[in-house]
């Protein structure tokens, strides 16, 4: 007869007589040891059961206490689940065990580090600090405990506390290692504490332990963020190995210094060494492509994204769209937008502003309607893009209506940027008196950009006396801005007031203000070529240039082109003025593109200033006689010259 243990009414003793055969008695399973049970429960995620088991253990029994491994395993599970409640219950049991004198595991460095980490990942940095300070005066805790506390501070944005802790660690003669170095350097970077970072760099050099990859990368980021690029290069050259983060820091350093060609070269070296890229790499390089209008390189990066077969995140897709927009290839941006599974407001603003600055306001307004249908609400950036587009497209009434709608229908209070757009819309449309009223009645003080917009309106409509009054205000607000002086000089020159031109020139000389030189650049065969107004001597002296120039001159005369010499701000004869205009940087870049790119291919140019009237007319005719699309991005907008016409419809 088999008797289950739970059916016995009396305990079995030595005198109990069991007549059943030995083979009929079952082998009862041995109870699992406590620690194995706890680890099993922890592994299966049953933290409540594990903690109830610990809480039910008899007090004052060291044998019945879980060991260090069980506690560490439980804490690790609490950390991974961000379970503050379970961690606090566990901490309470550890405190009770110490009070009962059964054991004091709280002084164990591994357990203490886990407790600190638990509280810090749950945002309870004060509790983490209390755990850290418990026993710190009496126990000689190793670096790992200090590092856990430092990481906790860093994770919770307490960068100053990290450096204070680091100094305290040194004062207690705890030798820092690579973990401590990297956390301290990260805090120096966030606080721009360059001198403290240099001291830590000195300690790294003197340390017995060789710096690891993380320490090297932390040094790179520190020096890059603090603008010490020579130190970035030195550390980069010293590194025995470089990972993607190392290359990203170097590229980011070049970008911050506006050394965009060097950034391109570094990116090319990085790919040549087979390092690959991260989304950080791409979101650093794509804006560089946008700034220099390098569509070729931008497409190359796009191809690498496609080849990687990984799905780019929203930030990368938005950066990619922005690159295409700023390279004048807005249709590519539209295609990416159309293929996006999810879109945020930045996505909508990017594609919408892209069509607006490229002169395609009908499409821009279409995207605005789709944005409203999507359920998202437009913001101030949305309306800046639309208002700017209306300004450059000559949509005066539509722009005024949008400005009013922004306030009444969407509850967006106009910012300075919005008022600047409205003033520009009215001024360009010839409604200068209304624009002046807006300036007088706006709730904030008008900035130089707003007065500059009014001055430009005076240029467009020949309002010389008003331009003189506005320029006085501008010279008070922005006495060192050469653009304002040049604008007034342009206004005088356009009506033949050479005395006024000379007066402005003398004013600039007296104040030590120099006109910014016109500069244009074009990328051909993976190289960026830069041209400055009046330069390009090597290009202009080449046989290819002379031959092409003569052919263009004949063809352009046949369609009635004659140089508009009013743009030359010097009182010289018309022949000299015509020669002067030929040296404008955008013309040199265009000629270079015609010579060095294949027949029928688009020519893409970027200029640092507004394109002049004569160059605008010249490029329209060049597009007609050569059959080439010329895309010019100046400080105002994009100009797509095609078959003798410009996308701006001569309104810019």
Is residue 150 domain-resident? no
pLDDT digits (tens, 9 = 90+) for 478-515: 999 998 998 999 899 888 888 898 999 899 999 998 88
pLDDT at 564: 63
Is residue 261 domain-resident? no
pLDDT at 9 over 90: no
pLDDT at 296: 86
Average pLDDT over residues 224-249: 94
Q: Higher pLDDT residue, 402 or 24?
A: 402
pLDDT at 8 over 60: no
Average pLDDT over residues 137-149: 86
Average pLDDT over residues 284-313: 88
Q: Are residue 394 and residue 478 in the same domain, yes or no?
A: yes
194 φ, ψ (degrees, to nearest 5)? -65, -45
Q: Are residue 381 and residue 486 in the same domain, yes or no?
A: yes
Q: Are residue 489 and residue 555 in the same domain, yes or no?
A: no
* Closest to 556 in 3D by CA, of 531, 529, 590: 590
Top mean-pLDDT range of 79-83, 268-272, 431-435, 495-499: 431-435
pLDDT at 581: 58
| Mean pLDDT, the chain, whole residue set | 86
Is residue 108 domain-resident? no
Is residue 191 domain-resident? no
152 near 117, Cβ under 8 Å?
yes
pLDDT at 60: 60
Using CA atoms, how far apart are residues 356 and 358, in angstroms rounded to an integer?
Answer: 5
Is residue 204 domain-resident? no
Average pLDDT over residues 389-399: 92
Q: Are residue 453 and residue 495 in the same domain, yes or no?
A: yes
Q: Are residue 508 and residue 391 in the same domain, yes or no?
A: yes
Range of the domain at 432: 377-515
State the CATH number of the domain containing residue 500: 1.25.40.10
Q: Are residue 484 and residue 497 in the same domain, yes or no?
A: yes
Among 84-88, 135-139, 163-167, 561-565, name the one with the lowest average pLDDT.
561-565
Give percent above pLDDT 90 in the chain: 57
Among 500, 515, 530, residue at a domain's last position: 515
Among 465, 490, 515, residue at a domain's last position: 515
pLDDT at 75: 85
pLDDT at 99: 78
Is residue 31 domain-resident? no
Q: Are residue 394 and residue 503 in the same domain, yes or no?
A: yes
pLDDT at 28 over 50: no
Q: Higher pLDDT residue, 237 or 566?
A: 237
Give start and end residues of each alpha helix (H) in 134-243.
143-155, 159-171, 178-191, 194-206, 213-225, 229-238
Instruction: Report the domain count for the chain.
Output: 2
pLDDT at 571 over 60: no
Q: Residue 519 region, left (φ>0) first, then alpha (ψ -120 to 50), else beta? A: beta
Residues in a beta bridge with 632? 605, 639
pLDDT digits (tens, 9 = 90+) for 412-456: 999 999 999 999 999 999 999 999 999 999 999 999 999 999 999
Q: Are residue 544 and residue 593 in the same domain, yes or no?
A: yes
pLDDT digits (tens, 9 = 90+) for 274-294: 888 898 999 999 999 998 888
Average pLDDT over residues 629-637: 90
Q: Are residue 555 and residue 496 in the same domain, yes or no?
A: no
First to last CA, the chain: 105
pLDDT at 6: 31
Q: Are residue 432 and residue 562 in the same domain, yes or no?
A: no
Is residue 444 domain-resident? yes
Q: Higher pLDDT residue, 100 or 122?
A: 122
pLDDT at 102: 67
pLDDT-derived band at 26, boundaries 50, 70, 90:
very low
Among 497, 515, 533, residue at a domain's last position: 515
pLDDT at 3: 28
pLDDT at 623: 95
Alpha-carbon distances of 34 from 54, 77, 79, 189, rounded to whole Å: 9, 18, 22, 48
pLDDT at 40: 76
pLDDT digits (tens, 9 = 90+) for 43-60: 767 777 777 777 777 666
pLDDT-derived band at 183, boundaries 50, 70, 90:
very high
Angle at CA 38, nearest 5°, toward 37 and 41? 85
pLDDT at 123 over 60: yes
Q: Are residue 499 and residue 524 in the same domain, yes or no?
A: no
Q: Are residue 477 and residue 499 in the same domain, yes or no?
A: yes
Is residue 423 domain-resident? yes
In sequence order, what DSSP letters do the residues of 386-418 get, joined into one string? HHHHHHHHT-HHHHHHHHHHHHHTT-PPP-HHH
pLDDT at 62: 53
pLDDT at 516: 82
């Amino acid at each position: 007869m088999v008797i289950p243990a739970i059916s016995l009414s009396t305990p079995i003793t030595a005198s109990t007589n069991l007549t059943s055969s030995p083979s009929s008695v079952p082998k009862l399973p041995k109870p699992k040891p406590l620690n194995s049970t706890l680890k099993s429960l922890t592994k299966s995620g049953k933290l409540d059961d594990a903690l109830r088991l610990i809480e039910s253990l008899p007090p004052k029994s060291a044998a019945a206490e879980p060991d260090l491994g069980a506690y560490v395993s439980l804490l690790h599970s609490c950390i991974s689940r961000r379970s503050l409640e379970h961690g606090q219950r566990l901490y309470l049991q550890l405190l009770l065990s110490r009070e009962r004198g059964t054991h004091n595991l709280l002084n164990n460095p591994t357990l203490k580090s886990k407790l600190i980490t638990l509280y810090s990942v749950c945002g309870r940095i004060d509790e983490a600090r209390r755990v850290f300070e418990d026993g710190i005066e009496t126990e000689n805790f190793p670096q790992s405990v200090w590092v856990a506390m430092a990481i906790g501070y860093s994770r919770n944005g307490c960068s100053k506390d990290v450096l204070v802790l680091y100094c305290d660690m040194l004062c207690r003669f705890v030798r820092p290692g690579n973990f401590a170095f990297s956390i301290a350097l990260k805090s120096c970077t966030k606080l721009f504490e360059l001198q403290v970072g240099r001291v830590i760099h000195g300690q790294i050099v003197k340390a017995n332990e060789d710096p690891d990859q993380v320490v090297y990368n932390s040094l790179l980021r520190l020096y890059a963020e603090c603008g010490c690029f020579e130190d970035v290069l030195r550390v980069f050259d010293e590194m025995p190995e470089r990972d993607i983060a190392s290359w990203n820091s170097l590229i980011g350093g070049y970008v911050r210094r506006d050394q965009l060609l060097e950034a391109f070269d570094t990116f090319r070296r990085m790919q040549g060494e087979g390092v690959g890229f991260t989304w950080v790499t791409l979101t650093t390089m794509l804006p560089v492509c946008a700034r220099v209008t390098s569509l070729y390189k931008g497409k190359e990066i796009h191809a690498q994204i496609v080849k990687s077969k990984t799905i780019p995140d929203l930030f990368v897709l938005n950066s990619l769209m922005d690159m295409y927009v700023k390279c004048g290839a807005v249709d590519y941006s539209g295609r990416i937008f159309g293929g996006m599974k999810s879109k945020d407001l930045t996505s909508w603003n990017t594609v919408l502003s892209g069509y607006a600055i490229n002169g395609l306001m009908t499409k821009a307004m279409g995207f605005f309607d789709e944005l409203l249908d999507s359920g998202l609400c437009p913001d101030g950036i949305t309306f800046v893009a639309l208002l700017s587009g209306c300004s450059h497209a000559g949509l005066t009434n539509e722009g005024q209506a949008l400005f009013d709608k922004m306030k009444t229908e969407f509850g967006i209070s106009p910012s300075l940027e919005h008022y600047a757009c409205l003033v520009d819309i009215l001024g360009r449309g010839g409604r200068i008196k209304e624009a002046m009223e807006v300036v007088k009645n706006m709730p904030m003080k008008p900035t130089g950009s707003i007065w500059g917009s009014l001055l430009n309106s005076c240029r467009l409509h020949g309002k010389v006396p008003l331009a003189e009054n506005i320029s006085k205000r501008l010279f008070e607000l922005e006495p060192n801005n050469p653009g304002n002086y040049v604008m007034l000089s342009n206004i005088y020159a356009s009506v033949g007031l050479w005395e006024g031109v000379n007066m402005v020139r003398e004013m600039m000389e007296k104040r030590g203000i120099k006109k910014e030189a016109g500069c244009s650049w074009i990328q051909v065969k993976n190289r960026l070529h830069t041209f400055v107004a009046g330069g390009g001597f090597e290009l202009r002296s080449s046989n290819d240039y002379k031959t092409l120039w003569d052919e263009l001159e004949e063809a352009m005369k046949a369609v009635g082109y004659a140089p508009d010499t009013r743009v030359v701000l010097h009182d010289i004869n018309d022949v000299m003025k015509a020669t002067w205009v030929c040296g404008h940087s955008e013309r040199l870049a265009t000629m270079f593109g015609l010579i060095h790119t294949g027949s029928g291919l688009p020519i893409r140019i970027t200029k640092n200033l507004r394109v002049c009237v004569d160059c605008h007319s010249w490029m329209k005719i060049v597009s007609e006689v050569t059959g080439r699309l010329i895309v010019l991005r100046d400080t105002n907008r994009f100009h797509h010259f095609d078959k003798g016409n410009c996308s701006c419809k001569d309104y810019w």
